[in-house]
Structure 1
Amino acid sequence: MSSTVVPLVIAFLGIVGTLASGLMTQRLAEKTKSKEWDHSERQRAEERQLETKRATAEAVRACCVMLNTASLEYHSELNTFWYALRASHVTDALRSRLDDARREHRARYSEAQMQIPDDVLAAADTVHRRLNRIYGVLKRLDGGIPPHQEGESLEQVHPQIVGLWDQLSDMRRIMRRSLGLPPHSPDGTEAAGPEDHPM
Protein backbone atom coordinates (compact mmCIF):
# COMPACT_ATOMS: atom_id res chain seq x y z
CA MET A 1 0.00 0.00 0.00
CA SER A 2 1.29 3.42 -0.87
CA SER A 3 1.93 6.05 1.71
CA THR A 4 -0.97 8.15 0.41
CA VAL A 5 -3.51 5.32 0.54
CA VAL A 6 -2.87 4.41 4.19
CA PRO A 7 -3.93 7.80 5.58
CA LEU A 8 -7.02 7.71 3.34
CA VAL A 9 -7.98 4.24 4.63
CA ILE A 10 -7.41 5.36 8.22
CA ALA A 11 -9.49 8.50 7.62
CA PHE A 12 -12.21 6.43 5.96
CA LEU A 13 -12.30 3.95 8.85
CA GLY A 14 -12.43 6.84 11.31
CA ILE A 15 -15.40 8.36 9.49
CA VAL A 16 -17.18 4.99 9.28
CA GLY A 17 -16.47 4.36 12.98
CA THR A 18 -17.81 7.78 13.93
CA LEU A 19 -20.96 7.26 11.84
CA ALA A 20 -21.47 3.73 13.19
CA SER A 21 -20.96 4.94 16.74
CA GLY A 22 -23.56 7.68 16.24
CA LEU A 23 -26.05 5.21 14.78
CA MET A 24 -25.45 2.74 17.61
CA THR A 25 -25.87 5.51 20.20
CA GLN A 26 -29.11 6.61 18.53
CA ARG A 27 -30.41 3.03 18.37
CA LEU A 28 -29.52 2.50 22.04
CA ALA A 29 -31.27 5.74 23.01
CA GLU A 30 -34.38 4.73 21.03
CA LYS A 31 -34.40 1.31 22.67
CA THR A 32 -34.02 2.85 26.13
CA LYS A 33 -36.75 5.38 25.38
CA SER A 34 -39.05 2.62 24.12
CA LYS A 35 -38.45 0.56 27.29
CA GLU A 36 -39.15 3.60 29.46
CA TRP A 37 -42.36 4.31 27.53
CA ASP A 38 -43.48 0.67 27.84
CA HIS A 39 -42.72 0.73 31.57
CA SER A 40 -44.62 3.99 32.14
CA GLU A 41 -47.53 2.71 30.01
CA ARG A 42 -47.66 -0.49 32.08
CA GLN A 43 -47.51 1.58 35.25
CA ARG A 44 -50.36 3.81 34.07
CA ALA A 45 -52.45 0.74 33.16
CA GLU A 46 -51.80 -0.76 36.62
CA GLU A 47 -52.76 2.54 38.28
CA ARG A 48 -55.97 2.72 36.21
CA GLN A 49 -56.77 -0.88 37.13
CA LEU A 50 -56.14 -0.17 40.81
CA GLU A 51 -58.29 2.97 40.69
CA THR A 52 -61.11 1.03 39.01
CA LYS A 53 -60.83 -1.65 41.68
CA ARG A 54 -60.94 0.98 44.45
CA ALA A 55 -63.94 2.73 42.87
CA THR A 56 -65.79 -0.59 42.53
CA ALA A 57 -65.06 -1.53 46.14
CA GLU A 58 -66.25 1.90 47.32
CA ALA A 59 -69.45 1.59 45.27
CA VAL A 60 -70.15 -1.84 46.79
CA ARG A 61 -69.44 -0.50 50.30
CA ALA A 62 -71.78 2.48 49.77
CA CYS A 63 -74.45 0.17 48.36
CA CYS A 64 -74.20 -2.13 51.41
CA VAL A 65 -74.42 0.82 53.81
CA MET A 66 -77.53 2.22 52.10
CA LEU A 67 -79.21 -1.19 51.88
CA ASN A 68 -78.48 -1.94 55.54
CA THR A 69 -79.83 1.48 56.59
CA ALA A 70 -82.96 1.11 54.45
CA SER A 71 -83.58 -2.41 55.79
CA LEU A 72 -83.31 -1.27 59.41
CA GLU A 73 -85.61 1.70 58.77
CA TYR A 74 -88.19 -0.49 57.03
CA HIS A 75 -88.06 -2.96 59.90
CA SER A 76 -88.47 -0.16 62.45
CA GLU A 77 -91.49 1.24 60.60
CA LEU A 78 -93.08 -2.22 60.44
CA ASN A 79 -92.63 -2.56 64.19
CA THR A 80 -94.09 0.92 64.85
CA PHE A 81 -97.02 0.14 62.56
CA TRP A 82 -97.69 -3.15 64.35
CA TYR A 83 -97.92 -1.38 67.72
CA ALA A 84 -100.23 1.27 66.26
CA LEU A 85 -102.40 -1.44 64.68
CA ARG A 86 -102.60 -3.35 67.95
CA ALA A 87 -103.66 -0.14 69.77
CA SER A 88 -106.06 0.81 66.94
CA HIS A 89 -104.18 4.09 66.49
CA VAL A 90 -103.01 3.80 62.88
CA THR A 91 -102.86 7.22 61.24
CA ASP A 92 -102.36 8.32 57.66
CA ALA A 93 -98.96 9.67 58.70
CA LEU A 94 -97.91 6.21 59.93
CA ARG A 95 -99.18 4.62 56.73
CA SER A 96 -97.24 7.14 54.70
CA ARG A 97 -94.04 6.58 56.70
CA LEU A 98 -94.32 2.82 56.26
CA ASP A 99 -94.90 3.15 52.52
CA ASP A 100 -91.95 5.56 52.21
CA ALA A 101 -89.69 3.12 54.09
CA ARG A 102 -90.85 0.31 51.79
CA ARG A 103 -90.15 2.37 48.65
CA GLU A 104 -86.71 3.38 49.92
CA HIS A 105 -85.85 -0.22 50.76
CA ARG A 106 -87.03 -1.42 47.36
CA ALA A 107 -84.87 1.22 45.62
CA ARG A 108 -81.77 0.29 47.64
CA TYR A 109 -82.43 -3.43 47.08
CA SER A 110 -82.79 -2.89 43.31
CA GLU A 111 -79.42 -1.07 43.24
CA ALA A 112 -77.85 -3.83 45.30
CA GLN A 113 -78.99 -6.49 42.83
CA MET A 114 -76.63 -4.92 40.27
CA GLN A 115 -73.63 -4.35 42.56
CA ILE A 116 -73.24 -6.64 45.55
CA PRO A 117 -71.70 -10.14 45.49
CA ASP A 118 -73.95 -13.20 45.31
CA ASP A 119 -73.54 -14.27 48.96
CA VAL A 120 -74.54 -10.78 50.16
CA LEU A 121 -77.41 -10.68 47.67
CA ALA A 122 -78.74 -14.02 48.95
CA ALA A 123 -78.87 -12.68 52.52
CA ALA A 124 -80.38 -9.38 51.34
CA ASP A 125 -83.00 -11.29 49.35
CA THR A 126 -84.07 -13.22 52.46
CA VAL A 127 -84.47 -9.95 54.39
CA HIS A 128 -86.26 -8.29 51.47
CA ARG A 129 -88.82 -11.08 51.08
CA ARG A 130 -89.56 -11.31 54.81
CA LEU A 131 -89.93 -7.55 55.23
CA ASN A 132 -92.36 -7.45 52.31
CA ARG A 133 -94.33 -10.44 53.57
CA ILE A 134 -94.83 -8.76 56.95
CA TYR A 135 -95.73 -5.50 55.19
CA GLY A 136 -98.43 -7.34 53.19
CA VAL A 137 -99.89 -8.93 56.32
CA LEU A 138 -99.99 -5.62 58.23
CA LYS A 139 -101.54 -3.75 55.31
CA ARG A 140 -104.25 -6.40 54.92
CA LEU A 141 -104.99 -6.29 58.65
CA ASP A 142 -105.08 -2.48 58.51
CA GLY A 143 -107.55 -2.71 55.65
CA GLY A 144 -109.82 -5.00 57.70
CA ILE A 145 -109.02 -8.11 55.63
CA PRO A 146 -108.96 -11.16 57.93
CA PRO A 147 -105.93 -13.49 57.85
CA HIS A 148 -106.18 -16.08 55.11
CA GLN A 149 -103.07 -18.09 56.00
CA GLU A 150 -101.43 -19.45 59.12
CA GLY A 151 -99.14 -16.87 60.73
CA GLU A 152 -101.04 -13.83 59.50
CA SER A 153 -102.90 -12.79 62.63
CA LEU A 154 -101.79 -9.68 64.53
CA GLU A 155 -100.42 -11.84 67.37
CA GLN A 156 -98.61 -14.24 65.03
CA VAL A 157 -96.91 -11.57 62.93
CA HIS A 158 -95.14 -9.90 65.88
CA PRO A 159 -92.71 -12.80 66.51
CA GLN A 160 -91.87 -12.62 62.79
CA ILE A 161 -90.96 -8.95 63.18
CA VAL A 162 -88.78 -9.76 66.20
CA GLY A 163 -87.27 -12.75 64.37
CA LEU A 164 -86.18 -10.51 61.53
CA TRP A 165 -83.33 -9.23 63.74
CA ASP A 166 -81.55 -12.53 63.10
CA GLN A 167 -81.81 -12.12 59.32
CA LEU A 168 -80.73 -8.47 59.55
CA SER A 169 -77.73 -9.48 61.67
CA ASP A 170 -76.85 -12.28 59.22
CA MET A 171 -77.05 -9.88 56.29
CA ARG A 172 -74.88 -7.31 58.07
CA ARG A 173 -72.31 -9.98 59.05
CA ILE A 174 -72.09 -11.24 55.43
CA MET A 175 -71.80 -7.66 54.15
CA ARG A 176 -68.93 -6.93 56.56
CA ARG A 177 -67.13 -10.14 55.61
CA SER A 178 -67.55 -9.34 51.91
CA LEU A 179 -66.10 -5.86 52.49
CA GLY A 180 -63.14 -7.32 54.39
CA LEU A 181 -64.27 -5.86 57.73
CA PRO A 182 -64.11 -7.64 61.09
CA PRO A 183 -67.37 -9.25 62.26
CA HIS A 184 -67.68 -7.10 65.39
CA SER A 185 -68.01 -3.40 65.96
CA PRO A 186 -64.83 -1.45 66.93
CA ASP A 187 -65.52 -1.78 70.68
CA GLY A 188 -65.68 -5.58 70.31
CA THR A 189 -69.43 -5.91 70.85
CA GLU A 190 -71.93 -7.44 68.49
CA ALA A 191 -74.22 -5.03 66.67
CA ALA A 192 -77.59 -4.24 68.24
CA GLY A 193 -80.03 -7.12 68.50
CA PRO A 194 -83.57 -7.69 69.74
CA GLU A 195 -82.61 -7.16 73.37
CA ASP A 196 -81.53 -3.61 72.46
CA HIS A 197 -84.77 -2.91 70.67
CA PRO A 198 -87.74 -3.78 72.88
CA MET A 199 -90.75 -4.77 70.83
Structure 2
Amino acid sequence: MDSTANSYTLSQLKPSWSGDGVGPDHHEGCTSAPDGRHWAAITAGVVTAAGRQTSSVDASDQDVIETPQFDFPASRECLAGGTRRRYIRFMSTSVSSLIIAVVGVLGTLFSGLLAHRSSVNSKKMELRHVAEMAHAEREENRRQSELETRRSIYGELNAALRDYYAGLRLTLLALQKGDATEELRVAVGGLRDDIRGVYAKGQMFMPDDVLDVVGNLVALLHHLYNNLVLHCAGQDAEESLEVIAGRLSRASEVLYEVRQTMRKDLGLTSSDVNRPSNYGVFN
Protein backbone atom coordinates (compact mmCIF):
# COMPACT_ATOMS: atom_id res chain seq x y z
CA MET A 1 0.00 0.00 0.00
CA ASP A 2 1.28 3.44 -0.90
CA SER A 3 1.74 5.16 2.37
CA THR A 4 2.66 8.47 0.77
CA ALA A 5 -0.69 8.87 -0.97
CA ASN A 6 -2.57 8.25 2.22
CA SER A 7 -0.39 10.02 4.77
CA TYR A 8 -1.91 13.00 6.58
CA THR A 9 -1.05 14.86 9.65
CA LEU A 10 -3.43 14.95 12.56
CA SER A 11 -3.90 18.65 12.02
CA GLN A 12 -5.02 17.93 8.43
CA LEU A 13 -7.30 15.07 9.28
CA LYS A 14 -9.07 16.68 12.12
CA PRO A 15 -10.47 19.72 10.21
CA SER A 16 -11.75 17.38 7.44
CA TRP A 17 -14.32 16.12 9.90
CA SER A 18 -14.82 19.24 11.95
CA GLY A 19 -14.18 22.67 10.51
CA ASP A 20 -15.17 24.28 13.77
CA GLY A 21 -13.07 22.11 16.11
CA VAL A 22 -15.92 19.80 17.04
CA GLY A 23 -15.57 16.07 16.74
CA PRO A 24 -17.42 14.12 14.06
CA ASP A 25 -19.85 12.75 16.58
CA HIS A 26 -20.96 16.27 17.45
CA HIS A 27 -20.69 18.04 14.07
CA GLU A 28 -23.40 20.68 13.61
CA GLY A 29 -26.43 19.20 11.88
CA CYS A 30 -24.77 15.80 11.52
CA THR A 31 -26.88 12.74 12.20
CA SER A 32 -24.68 10.16 10.44
CA ALA A 33 -21.08 11.02 11.34
CA PRO A 34 -18.36 8.31 11.56
CA ASP A 35 -18.57 6.55 14.87
CA GLY A 36 -16.28 7.45 17.73
CA ARG A 37 -13.97 4.46 17.17
CA HIS A 38 -12.48 6.01 14.02
CA TRP A 39 -11.54 9.19 15.81
CA ALA A 40 -10.06 7.30 18.75
CA ALA A 41 -8.05 5.04 16.46
CA ILE A 42 -6.63 7.98 14.53
CA THR A 43 -5.47 9.78 17.66
CA ALA A 44 -3.80 6.56 18.85
CA GLY A 45 -2.00 6.07 15.55
CA VAL A 46 -4.21 3.25 14.35
CA VAL A 47 -7.12 3.53 11.98
CA THR A 48 -9.66 0.78 11.83
CA ALA A 49 -11.93 0.73 8.83
CA ALA A 50 -14.23 -2.03 7.56
CA GLY A 51 -12.65 -4.52 9.96
CA ARG A 52 -9.09 -3.79 8.76
CA GLN A 53 -6.35 -2.59 11.04
CA THR A 54 -3.24 -0.70 9.96
CA SER A 55 -0.46 0.91 11.94
CA SER A 56 1.42 3.00 12.54
CA VAL A 57 3.37 5.88 13.76
CA ASP A 58 6.54 6.83 11.97
CA ALA A 59 9.38 7.10 14.40
CA SER A 60 10.70 10.18 12.69
CA ASP A 61 7.40 12.01 12.59
CA GLN A 62 4.89 11.18 15.26
CA ASP A 63 2.32 13.47 13.62
CA VAL A 64 2.19 11.46 10.35
CA ILE A 65 -0.28 8.62 10.21
CA GLU A 66 -0.64 6.19 7.41
CA THR A 67 -4.27 5.75 6.57
CA PRO A 68 -5.94 3.21 4.37
CA GLN A 69 -8.02 4.23 1.40
CA PHE A 70 -11.52 4.56 2.70
CA ASP A 71 -14.28 7.05 2.33
CA PHE A 72 -16.72 8.60 4.75
CA PRO A 73 -19.84 9.29 2.68
CA ALA A 74 -21.72 9.95 5.87
CA SER A 75 -19.29 12.73 6.70
CA ARG A 76 -19.74 14.37 3.29
CA GLU A 77 -23.49 14.07 3.64
CA CYS A 78 -23.22 15.60 7.10
CA LEU A 79 -21.18 18.55 5.76
CA ALA A 80 -23.58 19.07 2.86
CA GLY A 81 -26.55 19.01 5.23
CA GLY A 82 -24.90 21.56 7.48
CA THR A 83 -24.20 23.82 4.50
CA ARG A 84 -27.80 23.61 3.40
CA ARG A 85 -28.96 24.42 6.91
CA ARG A 86 -26.62 27.40 7.13
CA TYR A 87 -27.88 28.59 3.73
CA ILE A 88 -31.48 28.20 4.89
CA ARG A 89 -30.70 30.14 8.06
CA PHE A 90 -28.99 32.85 6.02
CA MET A 91 -31.92 33.07 3.61
CA SER A 92 -34.41 33.07 6.48
CA THR A 93 -32.54 35.95 8.09
CA SER A 94 -32.39 37.82 4.78
CA VAL A 95 -36.09 37.28 4.07
CA SER A 96 -36.96 38.36 7.61
CA SER A 97 -34.87 41.50 7.24
CA LEU A 98 -36.50 42.21 3.87
CA ILE A 99 -39.98 41.72 5.31
CA ILE A 100 -39.18 43.99 8.24
CA ALA A 101 -37.84 46.65 5.86
CA VAL A 102 -40.90 46.40 3.60
CA VAL A 103 -43.24 46.61 6.59
CA GLY A 104 -41.35 49.65 7.87
CA VAL A 105 -41.57 51.40 4.49
CA LEU A 106 -45.26 50.57 4.13
CA GLY A 107 -45.88 51.75 7.69
CA THR A 108 -44.17 55.05 6.94
CA LEU A 109 -46.17 55.51 3.72
CA PHE A 110 -49.49 54.56 5.29
CA SER A 111 -48.88 56.73 8.35
CA GLY A 112 -48.34 59.72 6.08
CA LEU A 113 -51.45 58.82 4.07
CA LEU A 114 -53.54 58.43 7.21
CA ALA A 115 -52.23 61.70 8.59
CA HIS A 116 -53.13 63.45 5.33
CA ARG A 117 -56.57 61.85 5.28
CA SER A 118 -57.15 62.86 8.89
CA SER A 119 -56.09 66.42 8.06
CA VAL A 120 -58.46 66.51 5.07
CA ASN A 121 -61.35 65.16 7.17
CA SER A 122 -60.64 67.71 9.89
CA LYS A 123 -60.60 70.49 7.30
CA LYS A 124 -63.89 69.26 5.84
CA MET A 125 -65.47 69.15 9.28
CA GLU A 126 -64.20 72.64 10.01
CA LEU A 127 -65.58 73.97 6.72
CA ARG A 128 -68.89 72.21 7.31
CA HIS A 129 -69.09 73.71 10.79
CA VAL A 130 -68.32 77.18 9.42
CA ALA A 131 -70.99 76.72 6.71
CA GLU A 132 -73.55 75.56 9.27
CA MET A 133 -72.75 78.49 11.53
CA ALA A 134 -73.05 80.89 8.60
CA HIS A 135 -76.37 79.32 7.58
CA ALA A 136 -77.68 79.53 11.13
CA GLU A 137 -76.56 83.15 11.35
CA ARG A 138 -78.29 83.98 8.05
CA GLU A 139 -81.47 82.26 9.24
CA GLU A 140 -81.39 84.17 12.51
CA ASN A 141 -80.81 87.46 10.69
CA ARG A 142 -83.68 86.66 8.34
CA ARG A 143 -85.96 85.78 11.24
CA GLN A 144 -85.06 88.96 13.08
CA SER A 145 -85.60 91.00 9.93
CA GLU A 146 -89.03 89.46 9.37
CA LEU A 147 -89.91 90.00 13.01
CA GLU A 148 -88.96 93.67 12.79
CA THR A 149 -90.98 94.02 9.60
CA ARG A 150 -94.05 92.44 11.18
CA ARG A 151 -93.64 94.60 14.28
CA SER A 152 -93.59 97.73 12.13
CA ILE A 153 -96.59 96.62 10.06
CA TYR A 154 -98.54 95.53 13.12
CA GLY A 155 -98.02 98.95 14.69
CA GLU A 156 -99.22 100.77 11.57
CA LEU A 157 -102.11 98.36 11.07
CA ASN A 158 -103.30 98.59 14.67
CA ALA A 159 -103.25 102.39 14.54
CA ALA A 160 -105.00 102.52 11.14
CA LEU A 161 -107.72 100.08 12.23
CA ARG A 162 -108.45 102.06 15.39
CA ASP A 163 -108.57 105.35 13.48
CA TYR A 164 -110.91 103.79 10.92
CA TYR A 165 -113.13 102.43 13.67
CA ALA A 166 -113.15 105.79 15.46
CA GLY A 167 -114.09 107.65 12.24
CA LEU A 168 -116.99 105.26 11.62
CA ARG A 169 -118.20 105.69 15.17
CA LEU A 170 -118.07 109.50 14.88
CA THR A 171 -120.04 109.29 11.63
CA LEU A 172 -122.69 107.13 13.32
CA LEU A 173 -123.00 109.60 16.20
CA ALA A 174 -123.29 112.51 13.74
CA LEU A 175 -126.01 110.69 11.80
CA GLN A 176 -127.88 109.91 15.00
CA LYS A 177 -127.76 113.63 15.87
CA GLY A 178 -128.61 114.63 12.32
CA ASP A 179 -125.55 116.82 11.80
CA ALA A 180 -123.42 114.64 9.58
CA THR A 181 -121.33 116.75 7.19
CA GLU A 182 -119.56 116.17 3.90
CA GLU A 183 -116.24 116.94 5.53
CA LEU A 184 -116.75 114.08 7.97
CA ARG A 185 -117.57 111.70 5.16
CA VAL A 186 -114.44 112.73 3.24
CA ALA A 187 -112.31 112.34 6.36
CA VAL A 188 -113.62 108.82 6.96
CA GLY A 189 -113.02 108.03 3.25
CA GLY A 190 -109.36 108.99 3.74
CA LEU A 191 -109.11 106.65 6.72
CA ARG A 192 -110.52 103.85 4.57
CA ASP A 193 -107.82 104.44 1.94
CA ASP A 194 -105.13 104.35 4.62
CA ILE A 195 -106.32 101.01 5.95
CA ARG A 196 -106.34 99.56 2.44
CA GLY A 197 -102.67 100.41 1.90
CA VAL A 198 -101.47 99.13 5.27
CA TYR A 199 -103.57 95.97 5.03
CA ALA A 200 -102.32 95.21 1.52
CA LYS A 201 -98.69 95.44 2.70
CA GLY A 202 -99.37 93.40 5.83
CA GLN A 203 -100.83 90.52 3.80
CA MET A 204 -97.29 89.71 2.58
CA PHE A 205 -95.91 89.30 6.11
CA MET A 206 -98.75 88.28 8.42
CA PRO A 207 -99.13 84.59 9.32
CA ASP A 208 -102.47 82.91 8.67
CA ASP A 209 -103.94 83.27 12.15
CA VAL A 210 -103.24 87.02 12.21
CA LEU A 211 -104.40 87.46 8.62
CA ASP A 212 -107.72 85.75 9.36
CA VAL A 213 -108.75 88.00 12.26
CA VAL A 214 -107.46 91.17 10.56
CA GLY A 215 -109.24 90.28 7.32
CA ASN A 216 -112.54 89.72 9.14
CA LEU A 217 -112.27 93.07 10.92
CA VAL A 218 -111.36 94.99 7.75
CA ALA A 219 -114.31 93.42 5.90
CA LEU A 220 -116.66 94.35 8.74
CA LEU A 221 -115.46 97.97 8.87
CA HIS A 222 -115.78 98.35 5.08
CA HIS A 223 -119.33 97.01 5.28
CA LEU A 224 -120.22 99.55 7.97
CA TYR A 225 -118.58 102.37 6.00
CA ASN A 226 -120.68 101.64 2.89
CA ASN A 227 -123.89 101.75 4.91
CA LEU A 228 -122.95 104.96 6.73
CA VAL A 229 -122.07 106.70 3.46
CA LEU A 230 -125.54 105.88 2.12
CA HIS A 231 -127.11 107.26 5.28
CA CYS A 232 -125.01 110.43 4.93
CA ALA A 233 -126.24 110.82 1.32
CA GLY A 234 -129.84 110.34 2.41
CA GLN A 235 -130.18 107.12 0.46
CA ASP A 236 -131.65 103.82 1.54
CA ALA A 237 -129.03 101.66 3.24
CA GLU A 238 -128.99 97.92 3.69
CA GLU A 239 -128.85 98.28 7.47
CA SER A 240 -130.38 100.76 9.85
CA LEU A 241 -128.40 102.93 12.23
CA GLU A 242 -129.42 100.65 15.16
CA VAL A 243 -127.99 97.60 13.38
CA ILE A 244 -124.86 99.55 12.47
CA ALA A 245 -124.45 100.54 16.15
CA GLY A 246 -124.63 96.88 17.18
CA ARG A 247 -122.06 95.90 14.55
CA LEU A 248 -119.72 98.65 15.72
CA SER A 249 -119.90 97.22 19.26
CA ARG A 250 -118.90 93.83 17.85
CA ALA A 251 -116.10 95.52 15.86
CA SER A 252 -114.75 96.89 19.14
CA GLU A 253 -114.37 93.34 20.48
CA VAL A 254 -112.68 92.20 17.27
CA LEU A 255 -110.24 95.11 17.56
CA TYR A 256 -109.11 93.70 20.91
CA GLU A 257 -108.80 90.22 19.41
CA VAL A 258 -106.72 91.55 16.50
CA ARG A 259 -104.39 93.43 18.84
CA GLN A 260 -103.83 90.42 21.10
CA THR A 261 -103.28 88.09 18.15
CA MET A 262 -100.59 90.37 16.74
CA ARG A 263 -98.94 90.74 20.15
CA LYS A 264 -98.88 86.98 20.58
CA ASP A 265 -97.31 86.55 17.14
CA LEU A 266 -94.54 88.95 18.22
CA GLY A 267 -94.01 86.94 21.42
CA LEU A 268 -95.16 89.77 23.66
CA THR A 269 -98.04 88.02 25.45
CA SER A 270 -99.55 84.65 26.24
CA SER A 271 -102.97 85.96 27.31
CA ASP A 272 -106.25 84.89 25.73
CA VAL A 273 -107.09 86.79 22.56
CA ASN A 274 -110.75 87.19 23.55
CA ARG A 275 -111.65 90.36 25.40
CA PRO A 276 -112.62 89.88 29.06
CA SER A 277 -116.17 90.80 30.09
CA ASN A 278 -114.94 93.52 32.47
CA TYR A 279 -112.49 95.06 29.97
CA GLY A 280 -112.51 98.87 30.14
CA VAL A 281 -114.62 98.95 33.31
CA PHE A 282 -113.29 101.32 36.01
CA ASN A 283 -113.73 100.29 39.63
TM-score computed with the length of structure 1 as normaliser: 0.74
Provide the C-alpha distance between the structure 2 equivalents of 1:161 and 1:126, rounded to a whole number of angstroms.
13
Q: Which moved more, 1:58-67 or 1:102-111?
A: 58-67
Whose relative contact order is higher, 1 or 2, with alpha carbons under 8 Å and at least 6 apart?
1
Please show how residues 153-164 of structure 1 align to structure 2 within 5 Å: 153-164=240-251
2:266 equivalent to 1:173? no
Please, which moves more after superposition, 44-53 or 155-164?
Answer: 155-164
* Structure 1 counterpart of 2:228, one-letter code: L
Matches of 1:38 and 1:122 in 2, distance apart?
41
Question: Are residues 195 and 53 of structure 1, via their aligned partners in 2, closer, same or farther at CA, if it must alter by over 3 Å?
Answer: same
> Which residue type is aligned with residue 251 of structure 2?
L
CA contact (8 A) 1:169 1:193 kept: no
Which residue, 193, 204, 222 being the options, matches 1:103?
A: 193
Given candidates 102, 123, 127, the residue that maps to 2:217 is 127
Residues 24/119 of structure 1: CA separation in 2 closer, same or farther (3 Å cut) = closer
Q: Distance in 2 between matches of 1:97 and 1:135?
A: 12
* Range that drifts further, 116-125 or 36-45: 116-125
State the one-letter code of the partner of 1:120: V
Instruction: Find out whether 1:63 has 2:150 as its counterpart.
Output: no
Is the CA contact 1:81–1:94 (under 8 Å) kept in the aligned structure 2?
yes
Bigger Rg, structure 1 or 2:
2
Tell me, in whole angstroms, the C-alpha distance in 2 between the residues paired with 1:194 and 1:135: 25
Q: Which whole-Å deviations, capped at 9, do the CAs of 1:23-79 have from their partners, x for residues lacking one?
A: 544443332222111111111111112222222233233332222211111001111
1:165 touches 1:193 (CA, 8 Å); kept in 2?
Answer: no
Q: Which has the higher mean CA deviation after the structures are superposed, 104-113 or 132-141?
A: 104-113
Q: CA deviation at 1:20?
A: 5.8
| Structure whose residues are more often helix by fraction | 1
| Contact preservation (8 Å) 2:217, 2:251 | yes
Of stretches 135-144 and 47-56 in structure 1, the one that deviates more from structure 2 is 47-56
Identical-pair percentage: 29
Q: 1:168, CA displacement in angstroms?
A: 0.8
In the alignment, what sits opposite 1:116?
Answer: 206
Paired residues for 1:2-81 under 5 Å: 22-81=112-171
> Shift in Å at residue 146 of structure 1?
2.3
Which amino acid in the other structure matches residue 214 of structure 2?
A
**Structure 2 CA distance for aligned equivalents of residues 101 and 47 of structure 1:** 40
- Aligned partner of 1:177: which letter? K
Change (3 A) 1:165 1:67: same
RMSD (Å), alpha carbons: 3.3
